[in-house]
Amino acid sequence: MRGPAKVRVVVVDDSPIARGLLKSLLEADGDIEVVAQAVDGDAALLRIADLRPAIATIDLDMPGVGGLELIERIMATTPIPLIVVTGKELGSELVGQAVRRGALGVAKKPAPGKGKELRDEVRRLARVPVVRHVGPRARARAPSPDAPSRPKTPVTPAAPTPARTLARDAGSRPKTPVTPRPVPVPIVGIAASAGGPTAVASVLRALPPDLPACVAVVQHLPRGYTPHFARYLAQNTRLRVVIGKGRIGPEPGLVVVAPDDAHLVASFGGWLSDSSEAPVAGHRPSATVFFRSLARWLAHSAVGVVLSGIGSDGAEGLADLRAAGAVTIAQDQATAAVYGMPKAARDAGAAMHVTPLPEIPGLIERSLR
């Protein structure tokens, strides 16, 4: 009797030493098979189209068709899960671009005998269904270098709220009590994971600069990538983008991005802050933690949105938010690069609306009115 089918992998790297090491590390447990190796992007495209592996590992620095272009072309023509295996820092801008273009995961090139984490990640991501996405469509939406530029506010750390200013200047002047807003600014919470960066940018790009709400984004990212992600969003929206460190007073037209390795939570009075509480279902930041905080403190003054992503993070929190009277939205299957998180929200009955990505910004605006 045959055993379980092996996970079929194509390894793409211009270094024969790196390819040989990856092959030996990946095949160490016997349940993963490297079915082909490619030295550059052109060869990789042919191997993947011909063999249809479950997953491919991609190096970023290659001659000819480089790693970034290769990721984009695979996802636009023969979409399969991709994991970047690189010697670069995982928080680098280049790695961040790979995630935005469709890579589902990133990993450091392992040392000999140290491949368990990589094997576990390959097994996990190989089971993730992906759809055709990214490619020229994303670039066509981005402004060209010659296009008239629109005013943008650079990404900055959030300005100190009165409470933080008082803490910094304690003892130098009389303390003034800080009171919460009597009517909290509405908050649009957006959650996403794999395939999410471009989806989040698409939604923010379509929202008007006079949006009468604050937008809070919980995006699963490789550690160290949040600043790059925030800058990417700032380049794709007329709203102001900050990273949610400390205590932030939500403002209309402000986008708050969950910080690295911390939850983003709402609290009494509508304030937003970071939290170092333990990960939930392996996630920090967790979309469920954030949506539950919105349900508790803002209820119907919030809108919850779940976009492309692996797994089910956010589904339970979105259900609480809907039960509290908020409008809740999940991206539909046809437009989601990875239909994990939106499907979980839909199946749990947490999403009031299951909507194509291009229609979500308009639905957000109508919900706020």
Find the catalytic residue in 220, 228, 263, 283: 220
Query: What backbone torsions phi and psi does residue 64 show, to the nearest 5 degrees?
Result: 70, -130
Find the catalytic residue in 260, 313, 320, 332: 313
Tokens of 219: 């995006």
Question: Is the sign of the CA dihedral 140, 146, 150, 153 positive or negative?
Answer: positive
DSSP 251-303: -TTEEEEPPTTSEEEE-GGG-EEEE-PPPBTTBSS-HHHHHHHHHHHTGGGEE
Q: Is 220 one of the annotated active-site residues of the chain?
A: yes
The amino acid sitting at 87 is: G
Query: What backbone torsions phi and psi does residue 68 show, to the nearest 5 degrees?
Result: -65, -45
Question: Is the sign of the CA dihedral 290, 292, 293, 294 positive or negative?
Answer: positive
The amino acid sitting at 318 is: L
Using CA atoms, how far apart are residues 12 and 22, in angstroms rounded to an integer? 10
Return all residues near 359 (Cβ < 8 A) that are at least 6 apart: none
Find the catalytic residue in 193, 286, 301, 308: 193
168, 283 in Cβ contact below 8 A? no
Element (H, E) at 107: strand 105-108
> Any idea how long the chain is?
369
Half-sphere exposure (Cβ direction) of 109: Cα atoms closer than 13 Å? 18
Q: Is 193 one of the annotated active-site residues of the chain?
A: yes
31 C-beta neighbours (distance < 10 Å), count: 15
Q: Edge-to-edge strand order for the sheet containing 105-108?
A: 32-38, 7-12, 55-58, 82-86, 105-108
Angle at 313 between CA 125 and CA 78, to 5 degrees: 35
Among 262, 281, 280, smallest CA distance to 272 is for 262
Please give the positions annotated as active site.
193, 220, 313
